[in-house]
Amino acid sequence: METPRSEASGTQSVISLTTPNPGSVGPNGPLLGALIFGGGGPGHCNCSASGATTYHKDLSPRIGFSYAPEHLFGLGQVVLRGGYAIYYGPLDYGDFGQALTDGYTASPSANSNFAPAILLDSGIPSYRPPPNLDPAQDNGGFGFGFGGPTYVAPGYGRPGMVQNWSFEAERQLAPDLILNIGYVGMHATRLRSSLAWINNLNPKFFSLGTALSADINSSTAKSLGITAPFTGFSGSIGQALRPFPQYTLIDSDCCLENLGQSTYHALLTKVERRFHNGLNLLASYTFSKTITDADSALPTFAQFSGGGLVQDSYNLKGEKSLSYQDIPHMFVLSYIYELPVGKGKKFLNKGGITDRVLGGWQIGGVQRYQSGQPLSFGCNGGQFFEFIPGYNGCIRLNRVSGQPLLSPNASSFNAPAASNSNNTGCTENKDGTFSPPASGQSYFNCAAFFDPNGQNLLNQRGYVFGNMPRITGEVRSQKYVNEDFSIIKRMSLAEAHSLLLKAELINAFNRHVFSRRDTGPTDGTFGAVFGTVDGSRKIQLTLRYQF
């Protein structure tokens, strides 16, 4: 059992969705949603204020079998294996220890130059040291990972659960040559996620369109019959219609949010030749698919690797897509071969200088070839901030059917790194369509995208969600190709004493593997790459004395 994080003396705080907020009093009394403070005594909740409760049912059974029938379909030497297991993950926080401390920490400002922080003849400025037990102190705040309104549900103390099952058949094809074919499946739930966004405007209000941007005291609000949710409220109609209008974004992915899930299915094949006649070889091929709505143990940071953010926090089924870690094809070949020359070998079976010079040579290698990663075409407008007033999320574009995602000149597209602007972005038109860049250079096809919230459409029907998936495998980043080789010379000096010289060629053919491309259609670097995963040949020499 793992317990949620707590401060030794209870000095931490969390948003409670059932506690009245004295700073936001509406027609029917205080609105719900306020800070509660750990510890005991006046103003405290007499609790740890960790939000989450400990989960006590982390049972993890495992079962497996191995069966070697004497005769199975006349195949001869065959072994069947299988198993099922349940595993649990740790309770991971993505806030680096800085959240859940509102009211108990303070950071007085100080100048970073030689100017005085205060002038004594002006008096010492007022300063209120912690604790500050005002439950409304986060009102109007924006919670994002390192302070501000932070919510942890009681169920978030339940760790991620992974169910894993497998079945494998192994057959000996020849002496020291073995073939394995297997299937591995996995279903994970309660994964770390960034899906809740509990203070998002309900999409049923999207039809109000640009009226959501109007001030609560405007004639637009009056005509719609929408009034301020509490005394002293100021802001837009969209803000007023949030579930907890006293806050903007209430953060939950910093601290244990566990709404994610994933599935993985893979066909595994392996041919192995155990060391025989100087050769050891292992070749494996994996054909797999990974689907998820939670791509990282640090969900907020998954976007920096192309993970994509949630669009519709009210319908999480639409967030499940390919994982940006999905690699459908992977082939790995590794081998080592001892040349049949020298003492005790097939050729030049002699000792002395012949064996010292020509014997004891080995060559080996590891070669890997795998598919590229799928891509996310990001957000229309902001991600953490509002594209739709009162709604924080990644509002996506529509995919135009019949249009390829790659432009006709994709194969000849030669853009510099994404840090250098080269005007390859699409131009959005008022009708929601996209035109190619003026430069004529583009890797992706601008006509493949359509903005359902284009200016003209927005005036007609209000805001809507886009239909592109969070991540698409229709196009992928560059395939990963790498070859490493080694040349080994082993020279025997005396009994139990030898000298080994090894030369390793890492990325021997100097393959340049580029990382993902800029996938923001209106970015000036749309289609340009973000750098390299591996782009240099390395040679490593080792001299080792063994005794």
- Strand 161-174, strand 177-191: pairing: antiparallel
Q: Round the average pLDDT of the chain to a whole number and report it.
A: 88
**Angstrom distance (rounded) from CA 111 to CA 117:** 6
pLDDT of the residue at 402 = 94
Q: Does some domain include residue 491?
A: yes
Choose the final residue of a domain: 187, 220, 240: 240
Highest mean pLDDT among 175-179, 367-371, 498-502: 367-371
d(CA 528, CA 493): 56
How is residue 259 written in tokens?
A: 């709404």
Across 298-308, average pLDDT: 67
Query: What is the mean pLDDT of the segment spanning 51-65?
Result: 95
- Verify that 357 and 216 share a domain, yes or no: no
Residue 89 lies in a domain: no
- pLDDT attached to residue 348: 77
Average pLDDT over every residue of 71-97 = 86
Residues 225 and 360 both lie in one domain: no
Q: What average pLDDT does the segment 81-86 reach?
A: 98
Q: What is the mean pLDDT of residues 237-247?
A: 96
- What is the pLDDT, as a whole number, of residue 130? 79
Overall domain count for the chain? 2
Residue 365 has pLDDT above 80, yes or no: yes
Task: Return all residues near 61 (Cβ < 8 A) that are at least 6 apart.
Answer: 85, 86
Q: Indicate whether 235 belongs to any domain.
A: yes
Six-digit token string for 223? 């005509």
Which range among 282-286, 320-324, 474-478 has the greatest average pLDDT?
A: 282-286
Report which residue type is found at 232: G
Is residue 28 assigned to a domain? no
Distances (CA, A) of 437 to 413, 510, 523: 13, 33, 10
pLDDT of residue 300: 67
Q: Residue 214 pLDDT > 60, yes or no?
A: yes
Short-list 495, 10, 527, 463, CA closest to 200: 463
Question: What band does 529 get if pLDDT is binned at 50, 70 and 90?
Answer: confident
Residues 485 and 348 both lie in one domain: yes
Where helices occur in 44-186 by DSSP H, the ranges are: none
Residues spanned by the domain of 363: 335-370+480-513
The predicted pLDDT at position 105 comes to: 83
When pLDDT is cut at 50, 70 and 90, the band that residue 307 belongs to is low
Question: Of 187, 211, 240, which closes a domain?
Answer: 240
The yes-or-no verdict on residue 252 having pLDDT over 70 is yes
347 plus 485 within the same structural domain = yes
For range 1-12, the mean pLDDT: 89
* Higher pLDDT, residue 242 or 346: 242
Report the 3 state secondary structure along 176-239. Answer: CEEEEEEEEEEEEEEECCCCCCCCCCCHHHHHHHHHHHCECCCHHHHHHCCCCCCCCCCCEHHH
Comparing C-alpha atoms, which of 146, 136, 37 is closest to residue 99? 146
pLDDT-above-90 percentage for the chain: 58
Is the pLDDT at 234 greater than 90, yes or no?
yes
Q: Please report whether residue 45 resides in a domain.
A: no
Does residue 485 share a domain with residue 362? yes
Predicted local confidence at residue 305, as pLDDT: 62
The pLDDT tens digits for 93-115 are: 888 888 898 998 876 565 556 67
Task: Let me know if residue 536 belongs to a domain.
Answer: no
> With pLDDT > 70 as the criterion, what percentage of the chain qualifies?
91
pLDDT recorded at residue 516: 83
pLDDT tens string 394-409? 899 999 999 999 998 8
DSSP summary character for residue 456: H
Within-domain flag for 214 = yes
- The answer to the question of residue 91 being in a domain is no
pLDDT computed for residue 245 by the predictor:
96
Residues 357 and 209 in one domain: no
Q: Provide the pLDDT for residue 359.
A: 82
Q: What's the mean pLDDT in 117-137?
A: 78
CA 541/CA 547 separation, integer angstroms: 20
Section 238-243 average pLDDT: 97
Comparing CA positions, the residue from 61, 37, 56 lying closest to residue 48 is: 37
Confidence grade of residue 492 (pLDDT, cut at 50, 70, 90): confident
Q: Which position has the higher pLDDT, 455 or 357? A: 455
